[in-house]
Structure formats: structure tokens, C-alpha cells
């Protein structure tokens, strides 16, 4: 590739190239800029070429946006789906602290929930999303802000982004070193604002200028492997290319031509971008088969039919009369006649209405319906999950099954997105969290029922062990029978504080401790009504084995029955661990029954001891 002599000429040159088509296959040309433009127009209910004003607007029946909204919901991933754990047996208890710190502190400070949603919508709309590593956390780059890139592979060549900054926004960027000569700037922020025009003129695809009041400065951000001369004038000629980063501004010179200036430039030591392609990947294309692109034909032909229907309705709404009396129209003005007024025609003639209605409008309705069904089928948006009223007589169970099966395609796409999220966490977020936690942190977190039970069980056991040590060191006796009463009272006092609890990680407590992460998306999209039915069926199996005399469930007391019950739970799509089911371990009811036996042994008196003394526990 032949590079121009300056970075400014390179940017302008690549913008022109970015507007040209590339060949994907024989007889298939594609342009990324046009793809992004068309996707945005169709998503928001706008025509590609026709006038979109309300006065002259043809009907646009938006079939794209409802299906996109369905995909946004069906392929969603939230922060609560991210599962952290410490990959060290001796420090596994810290997993909960890391998890809650991520949910309650890190995710909120870095707005990860918003990032997940924006990245998800971007990759669904256009067939891909571009993520950048920033100081404030991972950020997605809007596709419409791309000024140029390699249209065959987003990350294989230099990439530039075009944005408009107001003076206030530029002054904020001074905090990051923009306009500082130490960072390679050849103009200050103040100087660039002075040079900029007192209006924003953004050129549109048709060459028009969008003009807005106030100063808005055209800023380009360029990343990539470029000639070293772009970075420093005295660069080593043997090192021809180096990864670098530029912040450039453009303004109109005295001759009317664009003049470029540099606000910031530096060497990059790693690629700050990651990309994820959603949908079917296409060779020789930077973006996959996008969610809007899937519906291009559906939207085009639906609009065609709606426009033809509108023309038919306009024709049918006209009332036109015909008569053989040639002089009738000159003698009478029908539109000025009063109601019940009598009119006279020549002998042997009559006045009749010209039929203008079209008997073929039903065909257009059928045509539109067929295209809508095709669009839903392509995008996996069946009536069951769209919330559309089913046809009369549709069995409820059949509708439930359709809803579950329809989520298959969305779960597949969601799984691919989850893998991408794990990669971002593994490469960018986990090191950042570990670095923050190694400094020591104090924070409050809200615990759910399972987390609160886990914390209480651990802490009450530790409290009892500490209590025993203190009593023994004080020369007092400690009995096993005291344990349950102590733990009960301790638990009651602890739970009075509610589920909002303080946490603290000590400095360097997690230093060099390996952290792991996974995105838990299993079963999230299961149909709620089906889940309720499954729980009810499992509950019936449990209640059928209840013994009111022992107040236990026989199904948990027999390992053989536990194994069968575990299979029932698995076949219901539920997790046996959530029910505390393990065929190799006695159940909770058995464990409590056995726990009473040692207490009877403790009532035996020790040799030489008084009758009310019990055997001292080993501490």
C-alpha cells in the first residue's frame, strides 16, 4: 500500500475509498457504509430514496423494528449472569466477595449493564460490533461513526472514526492531554476552536450540508499500523511501520480547502479493539448477515404492496359519474347539489357511477402477510414469542412448545455472544478488577436468599469455634448441646441487620490469586409457565412421600429414591443441586435425625464428675 506523505492526506484518501464497493462474490458487490446507512433507515422506518416528509410520505409499514425488539429481549445478557470465582481451593471463600464487588461496585461504576445492552443491539442490527478498551471500561464504537476501515476485516487494517466536538467537550479532553505539545500536538485546543467555523456543517450522503448553530469541530481518531513518519519525523527508516494512535482536527483554510492539525499522537503497544460478528459470517465481508439485513427484502416488498394499496384506496375513494347526455355536465354541477335535489337527463340517457374499486386488493393483503411470515421465519420470531394472538383453536400446550422451540435460534446466538463477553472479561476486566481489589476495598452489598444463607452458615460456624476457644482458654467447660442454641441466637442477631451487609477485602489479599469468570446463560429464556408446571410436578412427587409422624420426606431418606428423584428433576429441566439432592450423601432430614444421637451420649456422666456434667468437647 502506498501511503501519502501526511496523515491528513491519508485520512481523506481512505474516506473516499470507504465509499466504494468491494466484491464479496461474483455478481455480489457490497459497501459497508451503504449497509450501515440502509440498516439504520429501515430500522427507524425511513425510505432509502423516497422523500421522508410527512406531507409526501408514502406508507412505511415497519416490519423490522418489532422483530429487532424481540431479538433484543431474547438474546439479552445481564451483569447478574456473570459468575466470578477464585481459582484457588484455599481461598474459595473469597469468590462471593469478588462476585459482589463486581455487581455492586465495579459494574455500576463502569456502567457495564448499559455497555452489554448497547453492544447487543449494535451486533444484532448490523451483524457485528466493535469494542474498544478504554480507561473507563470497555466501550462499543457506533458503526455510523466509522470514517474508514478495511471492509473485508474490521481489525486487519487502519481504522478511523469521525466525531463532532463542541468547544466544551474539547476543553474536557484537555485533561487527557489533547492539545499538549508533549503529546505530539501542533495546535492547542484554544487555537483549533478559534480556527473552526461558527457552525457545524456535516456533509450527507447526497452532498447536502447539515448546518447547526454554534461551533462544532470535526475530529478524527485513527488507530492502526502506519508509517513511522506519521508518528515522529526522525523515525528509524528501518522500522517502517508501527502501531500508533492519532487525534486529528480539520478546519477550512483561507483558500477554502480542508487543513489538518494534530491534537494528540502516541504509539500503541496493543490492539485496543475486539470485534464480534453476530449471525451468519460471510467471507470477504467485515460484517456478518445483520438482523436488519435479514429483513431487507421483506421490508422492501411490504412497502411496495402498501404503496400499491394506498393508490388503490385513493382511486376507490373517488366518486365519478358517467352519462350519455353530453350536455349534462354543462347544465349541472353535481358537487354543488343539495341533498334530495332532482336532476333531469336527456331522454333515453341516465347518469351512473363509474366503478373505481379494485377487486384485487385482497391479493395485496395476502402478499403482505406472506412476506411478514417469511420475515418472522427468517429471524426466529414466531407468533408465540412475539405475543401475537394465536389462531382460534390453537392448543395451549402446543403454543407453549412453540415458544420454547422458537428460542432455540436465539439461545444459540446468545451463547456466541456470551463467549465473546467472557473473552472481554478474561482479557480486559479481570486484570482491572484484580488490580483494584489488591488495594483493599470496603463496600456494602445486597445478598439474595442463597447468598445470605451461605454467609450465615459460614459465619455462625466461625462464631461458635471462636466462642469455644474463648471459653476453654478461660477455664470453662463447653458442651456440644450448647452449640445449637448458640448458633440459633447468633443467627437471629445477624439476620436482624437484613440482607444489606458490609464486606471488606484486605490489601494484597487477592494478590496473585487467579480469578475466573463464566457467563451463566443456561435456562434463562425458559418459558415461565412451563417452569411453574415443572416445579408443581416436582413438588407433588415430594409431598407424596411426606410422613407426618416423623415430619420427614421418605424420598430423601432412601439413597435409591434420591437417585430416582434426581433423575426426575433433571428431566424437568431443573438443577438437582438447587434441591440439595445428592444420592451419595444422606439427606437433610436424615442428617438432623442422626445429629440427635450424639447428644444422648453426652448426657453420660464422666468418671469423677457430678451427674449434671457432660463430656467436654475436643477443641
pLDDT score of 363: 77
Determine what percent of the chain is predicted with pLDDT higher than 70.
77
Q: Are 316 and 357 in contact (CB under 8 A)?
A: yes
Residue bearing cell 404492496: 305
- Predicted confidence (pLDDT) per residue in 33-54, tens digit: 999 999 999 999 888 876 655 5
User: Distance between CA 220 and CA 121 in Å, rounded?
Assistant: 25
Is the backbone of residue 177 left (phi > 0), alpha (psi -120 to 50) or beta?
left
Per-residue pLDDT band at 404 (split at 50, 70, 90): low
Choose among 195, 130, 127, 122: nearest CA to 161: 130
The CA distance from 137 to 272, in Å, is: 11
Q: pTM surpassing 0.85?
A: no
Q: Determine the Cα–Cα distance for residues 15 and 145; give it in Å rounded to an integer.
A: 12
For 413-457, what is each residue's pLDDT tens digit? 888 899 999 999 999 998 888 888 888 888 888 888 788 888 888
* Residues 363, 381: Cα–Cα separation, whole Å: 24
d(CA 101, CA 365): 55
pLDDT value at residue 529? 47
Cβ-Cβ contacts under 8 Å for 237 (sequence gap 6 or more): none
Cell numbers for 530, please give them: 412451563
Q: What is the pLDDT of residues 503-538, one digit of tens each?
A: 888 888 877 778 877 777 654 444 444 555 666 666
Taking residue 210's Cβ as centre, other Cβ atoms within 10 Å add up to 10
Mean local confidence (pLDDT), 549-575 = 68
Rounded Cα gap, residues 87 and 510, in angstroms:
11
Q: What is the full DSSP assignment across 583-600? A: TTS--HHHHHHHHHHHHH
Instruction: Show Cβ contacts of residue 588 under 8 Å, excluding neighbours closer than 6 positions.
Output: 556, 580
The cell 429464556 sits on which residue? 525
- Alpha-carbon distance 305 to 301, whole Å? 6
What CA–CA distance (Å, rounded) separates 356 from 296? 33
CA 67-149-43 angle, to 5 degrees, is 20
- If you average pLDDT over residues 189-204, what whole number do you get? 73
Of 32-36, 135-139, 184-188, the least confident: 135-139
Q: Which cell numbers hold the place of 454? A: 451461605
302's grid cell: 411490504
Amino acid at each position: 500500500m502506498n501511503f501519502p506523505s501526511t496523515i491528513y492526506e491519508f485520512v481523506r484518501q481512505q474516506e473516499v475509498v470507504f465509499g466504494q464497493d468491494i466484491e464479496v462474490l461474483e455478481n455480489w458487490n457490497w459497501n459497508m457504509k451503504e449497509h450501515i446507512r440502509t440498516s439504520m433507515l429501515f430500522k427507524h422506518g425511513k425510505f432509502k430514496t423516497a422523500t421522508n416528509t410527512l406531507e409526501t410520505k408514502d406508507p412505511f409499514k415497519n416490519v423490522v423494528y418489532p422483530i429487532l425488539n424481540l431479538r433484543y429481549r431474547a438474546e439479552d445478557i445481564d451483569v447478574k449472569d456473570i459468575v466470578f470465582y477464585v481459582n484457588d481451593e484455599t481461598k474459595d471463600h473469597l469468590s462471593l466477595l469478588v462476585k459482589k464487588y463486581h455487581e455492586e461496585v465495579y459494574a455500576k461504576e463502569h456502567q457495564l449493564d448499559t455497555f452489554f445492552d448497547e453492544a447487543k443491539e449494535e451486533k444484532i442490527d448490523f451483524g457485528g460490533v466493535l469494542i474498544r478498551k478504554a480507561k473507563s471500561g470497555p466501550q462499543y464504537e457506533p458503526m455510523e461513526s466509522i470514517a474508514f476501515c478495511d471492509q473485508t476485516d474490521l481489525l486487519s487494517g487502519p481504522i478511523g472514526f469521525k466525531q463532532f466536538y463542541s468547544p466544551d467537550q474539547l476543553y474536557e479532553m484537555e485533561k487527557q492531554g489533547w492539545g499538549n505539545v508533549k503529546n505530539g500536538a501542533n495546535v492547542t485546543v484554544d487555537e483549533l476552536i478559534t480556527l473552526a467555523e461558527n457552525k457545524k456543517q456535516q456533509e450527507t450522503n447526497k452532498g447536502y450540508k447539515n448546518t447547526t448553530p454554534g461551533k462544532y469541530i470535526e475530529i478524527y481518531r485513527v488507530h492502526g499500523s502506519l508509517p513511522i513518519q506519521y508518528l515522529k519525523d526522525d523515525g528509524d527508516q528501518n522500522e517502517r511501520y508501527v502501531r500508533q494512535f492519532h487525534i486529528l482536527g480539520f478546519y477550512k483554510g483561507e483558500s477554502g480547502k480542508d487543513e489538518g492539525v494534530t491534537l494528540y499522537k502516541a504509539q500503541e503497544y496493543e490492539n485496543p479493539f475486539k470485534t464480534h460478528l453476530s449471525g451468519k459470517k460471510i467471507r470477504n465481508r467485515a460484517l456478518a448477515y445483520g438482523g436488519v439485513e435479514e429483513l431487507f427484502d421483506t421490508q422492501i416488498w411490504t412497502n411496495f404492496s402498501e404503496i400499491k394499496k394506498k393508490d388503490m384506496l385513493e382511486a376507490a375513494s373517488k366518486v365519478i359519474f358517467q352519462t350519455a347526455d353530453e350536455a349534462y355536465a354543462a347544465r349541472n354541477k353535481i358537487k354543488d347539489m343539495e341533498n334530495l335535489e332532482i336532476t333531469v337527463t336527456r331522454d333515453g340517457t341516465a347518469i351512473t357511477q363509474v366503478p373505481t374499486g379494485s377487486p384485487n386488493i385482497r391479493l395485496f393483503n395476502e402478499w403482505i402477510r406472506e412476506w411478514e411470515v417469511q420475515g418472522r421465519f427468517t429471524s426466529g420470531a414466531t407468533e408465540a414469542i412475539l405475543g401475537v394472538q394465536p389462531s382460534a383453536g390453537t392448543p395451549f400446550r402446543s403454543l407453549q412448545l412453540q415458544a420454547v422451540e422458537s428460542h432455540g435460534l436465539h439461545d444459540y446466538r446468545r451463547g456466541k455472544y456470551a463467549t465473546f463477553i467472557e473473552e472481554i472479561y478474561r482479557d480486559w476486566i479481570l486484570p482491572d478488577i484484580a488490580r483494584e481489589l489488591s488495594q483493599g476495598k470496603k463496600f456494602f452489598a445486597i445478598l439474595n436468599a442463597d447468598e445470605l444463607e451461605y454467609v450465615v452458615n459460614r459465619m455462625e460456624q466461625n462464631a461458635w469455634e471462636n466462642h469455644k476457644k474463648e471459653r476453654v482458654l478461660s477455664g470453662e467447660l463447653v458442651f456440644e448441646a450448647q452449640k445449637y442454641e448458640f448458633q440459633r441466637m447468633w443467627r437471629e442477631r445477624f439476620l436482624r441487620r437484613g440482607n444489606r451487609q458490609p464486606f471488606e477485602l484486605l490489601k494484597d489479599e487477592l494478590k496473585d490469586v487467579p480469578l475466573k469468570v463464566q457467563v451463566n446463560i443456561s435456562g434463562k429464556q425458559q418459558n415461565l409457565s412451563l417452569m411453574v408446571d415443572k416445579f408443581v410436578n416436582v413438588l407433588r412427587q415430594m409431598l407424596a412421600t411426606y410422613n407426618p409422624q416423623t415430619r420427614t420426606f421418605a424420598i430423601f431418606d432412601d439413597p435409591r429414591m434420591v437417585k430416582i428423584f434426581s433423575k426426575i428433576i433433571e428431566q424437568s429441566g431443573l438443577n438437582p443441586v438447587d434441591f440439595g439432592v445428592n444420592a451419595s450423601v444422606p439427606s437433610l432430614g436424615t442428617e438432623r435425625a442422626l445429629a440427635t444421637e450424639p447428644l444422648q451420649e453426652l448426657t453420660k456422666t464422666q468418671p469423677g464428675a457430678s451427674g449434671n456434667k457432660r463430656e467436654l468437647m475436643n477443641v
